[in-house]
């Protein structure tokens, strides 16, 4: 089986004038968000996750290994890297080697790195297309904007992981199990850990199976947040607009104050019934989705269409 990523390169670098000319809205918001990620508050979130990765990596390093395998990057080192603008390529229909659609990824194979113009981060261009083609200030537009930013922050965490621990580059996509939240197969996930430290939880979407399978980011029904207490919340329009306002001003978004669904008029189209109001515990039968709807967490490398939460 091929080990190369799949997809069609749309621009080699969103921060280059050529990329910005093709995706002006995406370039503008990612430029502002990259500034926000350089602030001490954001750097502290990245530092927290790097510290977790370091602790787990070093705990499993034999004493015979060289000292450089135990060198911990200092806070100033992390801030310096965040000050440097990464090369971010936008790739439409981005898929893993086994054909699973991706939000974004870090190219590690030399052929992939060359193929995508030496970009350090690949992001699914379908999110940028949704941002460019939807009416500004609508929920659809704001949703695409938010998902693009969260994906960028998520993949930036993986990039820092590779940067500071190059000796583990080939397997650094597999974050050590002690770095939580963990994936369904028991691996740690540094991108999710960063989302939780930075925003207060993991960002996800509720959409139809068809939209997920085709990467239709303009047809998302709702944005969700999965908090560390394993409760899922919905993010409503005012929280999403608050996120956008913060990003556009170059400040790190305030922790999103996700709410529950309590009133009948609030219940979205994907919801059949609730045993009790949201938030719900993932282990209980709190929510039933209509047939054909799925939930996906940003950054899940098992595919956009994976249902990450046991909603039923």
At residue 121 the predicted structure's pLDDT band, cuts being 50, 70 and 90, is: very high
Cβ–Cβ under 8 Å, residues 305 and 101: yes
Classified as helix, coil or strand, 69 is: helix
DSSP-assigned letters across all residues of 65-103: S-GGGGPPPPHHHHHHHHHSPP-EEEEEEEE-TTS-B-S
Q: Which residues contact 265 (CB under 8 A, 6 or more apart)?
A: none
Task: Pick the more confident residue, 159 or 231.
Answer: 159
Q: Give me the mean pLDDT over the 170-177 stretch.
A: 56
Phi and psi angles of residue 139, each rounded to the nearest 5 degrees, phi first: -60, -35
**Contact call for residues 28 and 136 (beta carbons, < 8 A):** no
Its sign, for the CA torsion 130, 41, 172, 85, is positive
In this structure, of 30-34, 42-46, 110-114, 119-123, the range with the lowest mean pLDDT score is 110-114
- Model confidence over 100-109: pLDDT tens digits? 888 999 887 7
Mean pLDDT of 24-50: 93
pLDDT digits 0-9 by tens, 177-215: 666 665 556 566 889 999 999 988 889 888 888 888 888
Q: What percent of the chain has pLDDT over 90?
A: 30
pLDDT greater than 60 at residue 232? yes
Out of 52-61, 77-86, 182-191, 219-228, the most confident range is: 77-86
- In whole angstroms, what is the distance from residue 243 CA to residue 253 CA? 5
Least-confidence region, from 32-46, 143-157, 202-216, 265-279: 265-279
CA distances from 76 to 47, 73, 79 (A): 9, 8, 5
Strand order in the sheet with 104-105: 6-11, 88-95, 121-124, 104-105
| Choice between 234 and 70, residue whose per-residue pLDDT is larger | 234
CA distance 159 to 170: 12
Cα(185)–Cα(252) distance, integer angstroms = 31
* Best CA proximity match to 187, nearest among 55, 96, 53: 53
Q: How far apart are the C-alpha atoms of 148 and 144, rounded to whole Å? A: 6
């Amino acid at each position: 089986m091929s080990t190369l990523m799949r997809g069609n390169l749309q621009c080699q670098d969103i921060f280059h004038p050529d990329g910005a000319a093709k995706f002006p809205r995406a370039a503008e918001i990612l430029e502002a968000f990259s500034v926000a990620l350089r602030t001490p508050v954001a750097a502290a979130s990245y530092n927290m996750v790097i510290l977790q990765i370091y602790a787990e990596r070093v705990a499993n390093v034999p004493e015979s290994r060289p000292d450089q395998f135990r060198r911990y990057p200092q806070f100033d080192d992390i801030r310096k890297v965040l000050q440097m603008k990464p090369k971010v390529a936008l790739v439409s229909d981005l898929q893993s080697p086994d054909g699973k659609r991706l939000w974004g990824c870090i190219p590690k194979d030399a052929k992939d790195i060359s193929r995508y113009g030496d970009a350090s981060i690949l992001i699914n261009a379908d999110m940028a297309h949704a941002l460019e083609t939807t009416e500004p200030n609508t929920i659809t537009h704001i949703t695409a904007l938010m998902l693009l930013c969260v994906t960028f922050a998520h993949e930036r965490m993986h990039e820092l992981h590779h940067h500071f621990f190059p000796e583990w580059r080939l397997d650094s996509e597999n974050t050590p199990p002690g770095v939580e939240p963990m994936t369904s197969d028991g691996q740690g996930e540094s991108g999710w850990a960063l989302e939780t430290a930075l925003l207060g939880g993991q960002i996800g979407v509720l959409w139809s199976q068809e939209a997920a399978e085709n990467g239709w980011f303009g047809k998302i029904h709702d944005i969700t947040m999965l908090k560390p207490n394993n409760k899922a919340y919905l993010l409503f329009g005012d929280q999403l607009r608050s996120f956008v306002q913060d990003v556009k001003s170059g400040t790190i978004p305030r922790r999103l104050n996700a709410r529950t669904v309590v009133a009948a008029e609030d219940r979205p189209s994907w919801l059949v019934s609730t045993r009790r109001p949201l938030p719900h515990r993932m282990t209980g039968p709190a929510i039933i989705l209509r047939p054909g709807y799925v939930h996906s967490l940003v950054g899940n490398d098992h595919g956009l269409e994976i249902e990450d939460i046991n909603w039923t």
